[in-house]
Chain A
């Protein structure tokens, strides 16, 4: 018999190493900071539309919001989007999160680093989980800079800050929790289109806008059944949120995360890596 002693790395050992690499990369990726900045600027851009004067007609545009917190979340769950105002809130950062995940996975394949990963002790599920967790973290960070940007923009524009503080906190926390589910979806999409960077980004953008659920809502109306979907739960996290909202978002996010991670792992396991 060979004198080689085999040591089976445990899941925590494996994931710790992979997360170490991915977090290092996240903090050394300029796009991460650019998206944090964009997330902070968006609220100001939304509020900036108020009071704008049409140079031809002289008419002053109706402000999108008079309450600062409406930039963060809608007053009530609005699955049916009637105007851009219904759409312009913190949910937009999830689209940027998708692009971040695309950059991460795209670079892994483009640089060939994926070979370094899968020729060692890493399992396919480790890869999926690590990318999704880092993606979720980046989205949660964007939520925070978006919030800070909203407060700054609100102070600057002089909009109202009147809100039920409990509901606001729950809404923000719920949206941050939803990052996990969204990250699972984006990781899954990127694993499918792993060799086609452009298609990966396009698919993340397409699904990140929640266009399918908005389409479904146009048929179903403001139906709470839509909360079973990522976009539905993200919309459900609004300024009238209660603890139920938090629970719904937690369950929805976790379930979709697990579904996407399992499906992505299956795909990766079935396919040749490189």
Chain B
């Protein structure tokens, strides 16, 4: 059973078409990294899943049921953009209000548990408006987790966080995922996403252009041969004549993306009078992979 199954989703905002037949499959228990550039349709898709906006066409099923069903919505936790909290109320009061809204029994125990999970137990008496961005994001996640939802939808939850905030958020999400909660998380910070996501969906121009698992990403077309030489530009030019994709990275390494062994490259360059000081196989990051896909490579 898939946690989320979207088929042919469309959304028009007056004259602009935000989604043009987007398909998406999120398996149960996955941490689904939802990637795409600004305006590609990530937030729109997430808002439709959560029921904040209507779709213009297509179908959205959550755990096999239409996403508009109340019983399905009871199983969802959401953090879209910033958390919806009353600024003058304390963190505790905001949490308790949401627990009341959800008719949670033993609300206090549940709120304490969630605040502990997001490492916010010591700041419950702080006014929401006085919390830092990172704290607010964690409060948003804690609120989304009230009622033990089976599906968590997070829109850019790590934006604006410092390194420590990102680490805490990462740990929190992994903890949540261990309980079997499915998480859809959109983010621009692909380095962070790469550390936790089990599945990926790349969206462009309102369409899903690629969906894959983390293993597929790992084992797929992500390897290259990197070499260091004193004659970088000549080596690049020579290799460029022989192989289809050769690039120089920021650190001055020449990268050969073709399926070729290091020995072949060493021999070829040696025959052309170029000595290599360093050579090895490496993998491109999610960010680089994403850029490749966006540029149609």
Contact = CB atoms under 8 A, between A and B. Distances in A.
Interface string B56-97: 000000011100011111111010111111110100000001
Nearest to B147: A120
A120 B101 contact: yes
A121 interface: yes
Contact of B74 (A2, A112, A118, A120): A120
A2 B52 contact: no
A121 B84 contact: no
B53 to A, nearest CB: 4
Nearest to B73: A121
Interface residues of B, number: 38
B70 A116 contact: no
A21 B97 contact: yes
A17 B103 contact: yes
Contacts of B150: 4
Interface residues of A, number: 34
Where chain B touches its partner, the secondary structure class is loop
Interface in A1-36: 1-2, 4, 6-9, 13-14, 16-18, 20-21, 24-25, 28
A115 B52 contact: yes
Contacts of A13: 103
Contacts of B47: 272, 274
A120 B151 CA distance: 12
B87 to A, nearest CB: 6
A7 B63 CA distance: 13
A16 B102 CA distance: 9
A54 interface: no
Contacts of B53: 272-274
B100 A7 contact: no
A274 B70 CA distance: 18
B50 interface: yes
B98 A9 contact: no
A233 B69 CA distance: 40
A4 B75 contact: yes
B28 interface: yes
A123 interface: yes
A9 B102 CA distance: 10
Interface of B: 1, 28, 47, 50-54, 63-65, 69-76, 78, 80-87, 89, 97-98, 100-103, 143, 147, 150
Given A1-B1, A6-B65, A121-B102, 16 more contacts: A2-B63, A6-B63, A6-B74, A17-B102, A17-B103, A21-B97, A107-B86, A111-B87, A112-B84, A113-B85, A115-B78, A116-B83, A117-B101, A121-B71, A123-B70, A273-B53
